[in-house]
Every structure is written in structure tokens, then in C-alpha cells.
């Protein structure tokens, strides 16, 4: 963000608005992707998303105007990265696992954590060597060579291939392997039934508040650290520590989901993230490096539970058969919060010159989200 803003003479909110517009428009793509995922599987979504995202990132490396920057961000959110994001990948995993779903989602979301661990250091080095344009170009190439091959090995659900969830009884005759097999198929609500439940809206708003809070800190952590008097290298290290905490937490959340209710684990994860942001904020005020890194670790540890805990909760509450469509319907509210929060924090900083009260609001959002999930209940017939 800072290299682009400095060179192009933009304000922070103008840069942040691009990412937020892309996230907001992703609400529409989520509603499109859900039914396609349920009917056709993830492969066409991943292929289209990778192609569009690579082209948009290439365009971002070449542009020199906000009026080109913003539309490219929007197109990338509408038909690009959102088609190979957590909704598509994790919803597919939820179709393949029931009893081992917690571990599957924890392991399956490890790539997000690895990205958080590797990307800050790698991109800081690339931008230092090749500039921000080289950074966007590197991401364009990376998306193309990684996501497209992965698309060809993705499948919709085990029943399409004569299998059962969790890899059970692979040699059963196809006639015995159906979605209605009581041993291997969980109760599933249709989209119309799901949206009429209180739990649907509690999960939507609760996970939306958490996502917005996490995104606000993720985008503004680097400038917050440098504005607090630390150097860019320490900021990059802090984000990598966040990624490390995110990664190692998968073991804890995967283990926890096999033993405890998500109504306990989700508020715990949100509380750990809130603690991390509190420590980061405090460290910025007193310029204490160890406290800053501990804060990033806690923030990342709670962050690491977001995908496995949220996707597990959605599938546990509403079943796996229509999970793509249900997640697509819940995504707009979540993504709008995700999009609005970084812009609001950026505007606050541009007006006041301080992140302090904005980060306090982020901490409050974590606790509000935890309350909503803790008081939710799975729908019953």
C-alpha cells in the first residue's frame, strides 16, 4: 500500500477502497458460485477465477490511474480471486467429509496460513527489488502457475465417484452409496429453509463482524506499525509472525473440533484475536517490540480458526448437500462488512492521524461477534 500511495500521490482510503470494492462485489460472485459449486463442482470456478485474477493483477502492475485501479479491483473480486477463495474450497471439503470434517477444514485452510507466513516477507523483498509493479506482476504469475493445475484435480463430491464421505467403504457397490445413506449423510436444509432460521442470520452477522475486524487489522497492520515508529522490516516480520500463529493454530482448532462444540471454540478464537489486537495497540503506544510480536502471534492464532471453525459451523448447522448455495447466500453480508471495515479505518486515520480508536472499535467487533455465535443454536425440524 505505502509504495503505491507514495508514488501515485493517492490517499490511503483511495487505495483501500479498491480492495474493499473488490471484496464487496465478491458478494455477488459468492451468490453465483454457490449453486454452480453444488451442481458442477469447483473446477470451472477455479479455472475462470485464476484466469481473470491473473489478468487483473497484470493490469494492476501496468495502471497509473485510480479510474483503472478501481475497476480492475472490482473485476478481480467479481470473477477472479473469489472463485478460488475459502467459500469454494472449504464448501467442497465439507461435501467430502462429515466425521473428519474439522481436521479436513483445518488442514485444507493451511494454505491461507502459509500465505500469511510467506507473503509479507516475499512481497516486501520483491517490492524492494522490483517496485510495486513488479510485486503485482509476481502475484499474477503465481496465481496462474498454482491455481490452474489445482483446478484439474478438484471434484464435486464423493458420491459422484462411487465413494462415501471420509473415504469410508470405497469398495461398496454404487447402489449402496447414496446421499441418503444414514451412516454417511448428515441432515441438510435447503437454502429457502436455511434463510428462515435465526441461526442463519446469527452466523452471517457474527462471522461477518469477525471477518471485517480481521481484514481491517490485516490491511492496516503494516502502516500502523510504521506509523508507531517501527521500521518496515519489523512490520513484515510481524505479519509473518501472524502467519506463523495462523498456521500452528490449525492443529489446535482441528483437534478442538473433534471434541468440543463450535459454540465454544468460535468465541474462544475471536477472543484470542481481540487479545492480539489489544497487545498490538499497546505495543504501538509504548514501542515495545516483544509485545508487538506476541500480539501478532495471538491475532494470527485466532485468525487461523476463522476458516475451519466457520465452515465447520455452517456445515454442522445446515448440512452438506446445499452448503454451496447456503454459503453463497450468507456471503454478501459478510463480504460487505469485510469490505467496509478497512475503508472506515482508513478514513478515520486520514481524518484524525491515529489508528487508536479505530482499533478499539475492531476489538469491540470481536466481542460482539463472539456473543452472536455463542448464543446460536443449530436448526431443528
Q: For residue 52, what pLDDT is reported?
A: 96
Q: For residue 204, what pLDDT is reported?
A: 94
Q: For residue 147, what pLDDT is reported?
A: 94
Cα–Cα nearest to 97, from 36, 173, 186 = 186
Low-confidence spans in the chain with pLDDT less than 70: 169-186, 380-381
Q: For residue 142, what pLDDT is reported?
A: 94
**Domain residue spans in the chain?**
2-374
Q: Which grid coordinates are listed for 223?
A: 502502516
Rounded-to-10 torsion of CA 327, 331, 332, 335: -170
Output DSSP code: residue 41.
Answer: -
- Alpha-carbon separation of residue 375 from 202, 262, 266, 333, 352 (angstroms): 8, 11, 11, 19, 36
Q: For residue 12, what pLDDT is reported?
A: 81
Q: For residue 148, what pLDDT is reported?
A: 93
Q: What is the number of other CB atoms lying within 10 angstroms of the CB of residue 146?
A: 12
Report the Cα–Cα distance between both ends of the chain, in Å, rounded. Answer: 49
Spatial distance between the Cα atoms of 113 and 292, rounded to a whole number of angstroms? 19
Q: For residue 174, what pLDDT is reported?
A: 45
Q: For residue 374, what pLDDT is reported?
A: 95
* pLDDT tens-digit series, residues 158-180: 988 888 898 876 544 444 444 44
Architecture of domain 2-374: Up-down Bundle (1.20)
Q: For residue 186, what pLDDT is reported?
A: 57
Amino acid at each position: 500500500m505505502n509504495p503505491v500511495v507514495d508514488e501515485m500521490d493517492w490517499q490511503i482510503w483511495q487505495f483501500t477502497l479498491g480492495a474493499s470494492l473488490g471484496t464487496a462485489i465478491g458478494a455477488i460472485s459468492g451468490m453465483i458460485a454457490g449453486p454452480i459449486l453444488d451442481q458442477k463442482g469447483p473446477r470451472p470456478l477455479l479455472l475462470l477465477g485464476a484466469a481473470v485474477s491473473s489478468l487483473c493483477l497484470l493490469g494492476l502492475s501496468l495502471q497509473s490511474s485510480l479510474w483503472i485501479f478501481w475497476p480492475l479491483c472490482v473485476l478481480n473480486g467479481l470473477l477472479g480471486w473469489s472463485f478460488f477463495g475459502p467459500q469454494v474450497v472449504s464448501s467442497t471439503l465439507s461435501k467430502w467429509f462429515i466425521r473428519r470434517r474439522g481436521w479436513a477444514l483445518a488442514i485444507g485452510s493451511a494454505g491461507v496460513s502459509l500465505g500469511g507466513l510467506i507473503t509479507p516477507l516475499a512481497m516486501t523483498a520483491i517490492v524492494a527489488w522490483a517496485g510495486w509493479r513488479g510485486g503485482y506482476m509476481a502475484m499474477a504469475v503465481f496465481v496462474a502457475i498454482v491455481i490452474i493445475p489445482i483446478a484439474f484435480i478438484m471434484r464435486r463430491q464423493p458420491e459422484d465417484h462411487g465413494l462415501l464421505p471420509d473415504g469410508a467403504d470405497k469398495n461398496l457397490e454404487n447402489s449402496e452409496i447414496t446421499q441418503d445413506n444414514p451412516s454417511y449423510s448428515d441432515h441438510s436444509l435447503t437454502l429457502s429453509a436455511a434463510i428462515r432460521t435465526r441461526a442463519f442470520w446469527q452466523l452471517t452477522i457474527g462471522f461477518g463482524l469477525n471477518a471485517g475486524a480481521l481484514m481491517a487489522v490485516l490491511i492496516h497492520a503494516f502502516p500502523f506499525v510504521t506509523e508507531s515508529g517501527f521500521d518496515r522490516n519489523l512490520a513484515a516480520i510481524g505479519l509473518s509472525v501472524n502467519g506463523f500463529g495462523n498456521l500452528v493454530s490449525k492443529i489446535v482448532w482441528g483437534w478442538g473440533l473433534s471434541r468440543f462444540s463450535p459454540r465454544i471454540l468460535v468465541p474462544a478464537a475471536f477472543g484470542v484475536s481481540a487479545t492480539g489486537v489489544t497487545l498490538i495497540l499497546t505495543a504501538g503506544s509504548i514501542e515495545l517490540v516483544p509485545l508487538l510480536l506476541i500480539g501478532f502471534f495471538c491475532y494470527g492464532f485466532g485468525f487461523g480458526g476463522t476458516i475451519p471453525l466457520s465452515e465447520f459451523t455452517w456445515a454442522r448447522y445446515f448440512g452438506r448437500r446445499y452448503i454451496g448455495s447456503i454459503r453463497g447466500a450468507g456471503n454478501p453480508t459478510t463480504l460487505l462488512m469485510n469490505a467496509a471495515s478497512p475503508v472506515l479505518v482508513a478514513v478515520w486515520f486520514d481524518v484524525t492521524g491515529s489508528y487508536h480508536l479505530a482499533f478499539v472499535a475492531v476489538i469491540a467487533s470481536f466481542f460482539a461477534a463472539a456473543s452472536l455465535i455463542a448464543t446460536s443454536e443449530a436448526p431443528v425440524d
